[in-house]
């Protein structure tokens, strides 16, 4: 395919439009000054935006462009899931150098559409801009939720159970393997690929989020910065602390195996790795047992209780009988430091 400079703005928009499926929600999509979306009665509107920038959030030479599109959409869908909402419509802002191959953007759009469709969102419009040096996919996603059933970060109360969907840390192991091919060569190919795919193609927990919003969860966040950082967000917003049992952190069999092979700490990856896009949430203690069983079935995902909310605002981790105070270990996007 030609470069975007050869095709021009209007030609590129025409090509990418072919990848976008019509939706009954979108009354007027690409092709006017703004998209027009049919409104839904009796809901509040949720809105989030997140950008994926080349060489910061992804490396073009390491990720399949279809997965890159999926991932860029999925990280936004995960934010809507963490509010207990339903994805509704997205706007895609593509910023790319003039020499970018249109085929690359075309494949990214295939991934964007696939992910949006899987989770019930429509691509309503967007923008393309020429920039020097690198590719950026910047997405704004709008969702909807019942006004009376929102999952905020701020409702956790002392005594609440702290729980998490799925497993944590595999995405960070995947990123490590992606960036260290010589380490990846030491473990079974299929296992390495599974970890890397966890990093490249996250599966946001929309069904779990909606279940939690409807069933008295007191707070929720998606694990994007890393468990240690994200539990802190809940504690700060709720003015509480947390006591975490390290041994309860749900680590997948693949992850335990890979960490063991590479002699790296699975616990550390699980605590501070980030980009799992699982839901970390709190529930009243007395609801926990029944709720976890129902949620697990309703949303088809394992759910694990890993600790308890405390009145004192420290975040403590119990491991092998020792209690340590958790430092600010999550990923800080700007300073690039743990």
Q: 141: closest CA among 214, 69, 202, 86?
A: 86
31 binds a copy of itself (CB under 8 A): yes
43 binds a copy of itself (CB under 8 A): yes
Q: Which of 9, 179, 289, 311 binds a copy of itself (CB under 8 A)?
A: 9
| Beta strand pairing call for 122-130 and 136-145 | unpaired
How distant, in Å, are the alpha carbons of 85, 111, 121, 143, 312 from that of 118? 15, 11, 8, 14, 41
Quote the least distance from Cβ 245 to a copy of itself, whole Å.
25
How distant, in Å, are the alpha carbons of 4, 143, 324 from that of 33? 21, 22, 55
Residues 191-220 touching a copy of itself, rule: CB under 8 A, are 220
Site string for a copy of itself, 134-153 (x = CB under 8 A): x-x-x-x-xx-x----x-xx
Residues 85-124 touching a copy of itself, rule: CB under 8 A, are 85, 89, 91-93, 95, 98, 124
Considering beta carbons, is residue 39 or 263 the nearer one to a copy of itself? 39
Quote the least distance from Cβ 185 to a copy of itself, whole Å.
30
Site string for a copy of itself, 51-90 (x = CB under 8 A): x-x-xxx--------------------xxx-xx-x---x-
Considering beta carbons, is residue 93 or 294 the nearer one to a copy of itself? 93
**49 DSSP β-pair partners:** 140
Residues 240/313, Cβ–Cβ less than 8 Å: yes
| E strands, 108-217, in order | 122-130, 136-145, 161-165
251 binds a copy of itself (CB under 8 A): no
Rg (CA), the chain: 21
Q: Which of 1, 2, 21, 36 binds a copy of itself (CB under 8 A)?
A: 36
């Amino acid at each position: 395919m030609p470069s975007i400079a050869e095709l021009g703005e209007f030609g590129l928009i025409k090509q990418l439009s072919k990848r976008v499926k019509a939706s009954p929600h979108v009354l007027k999509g690409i092709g006017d000054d703004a998209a027009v979306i049919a409104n839904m009665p009796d809901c509040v509107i949720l809105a989030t935006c997140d950008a994926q920038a080349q060489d910061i959030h992804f490396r073009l030479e390491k990720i399949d462009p279809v997965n890159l599109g999926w991932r860029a959409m999925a990280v936004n869908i995960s934010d809507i899931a963490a509010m207990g909402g339903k994805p509704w419509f997205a706007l895609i802002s593509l910023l790319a150098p003039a020499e970018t191959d249109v085929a690359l953007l075309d494949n990214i759009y295939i991934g964007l559409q696939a992910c949006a469709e899987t989770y019930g969102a429509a691509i309503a419009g967007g923008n393309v801009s020429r920039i020097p040096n690198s590719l950026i996919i910047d997405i704004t996603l709008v969702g909807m939720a019942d006004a009376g059933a929102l999952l905020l970060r701020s409702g956790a109360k002392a005594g609440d159970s702290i729980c998490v969907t799925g497993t944590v840390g595999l995405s960070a192991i995947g990123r490590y393997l992606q960036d260290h091919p010589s380490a990846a060569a030491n473990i079974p190919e299929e296992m390495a690929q599974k970890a890397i795919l966890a990093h490249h193609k996250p599966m946001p927990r929309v069904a779990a989020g909606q279940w939690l919003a409807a069933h008295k969860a007191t707070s929720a966040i998606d694990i994007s910065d890393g468990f240690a950082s994200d539990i802190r967000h809940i504690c700060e917003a709720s003015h509480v602390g947390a006591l975490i049992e390290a041994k309860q952190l749900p680590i997948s069999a693949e992850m335990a195996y890979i960490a063991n092979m590479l002699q790296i700490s699975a616990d550390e990856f699980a605590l501070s790795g980030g980009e799992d896009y699982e839901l970390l949430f709190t529930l009243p203690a007395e609801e926990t047992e029944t709720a976890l069983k129902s949620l697990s079935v309703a949303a088809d995902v394992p759910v694990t209780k890993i600790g308890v909310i405390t009145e004192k605002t420290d975040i403590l981790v119990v491991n092998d009988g020792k209690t340590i105070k958790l430092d600010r270990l999550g990923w800080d996007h700007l300073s690039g430091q743990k």
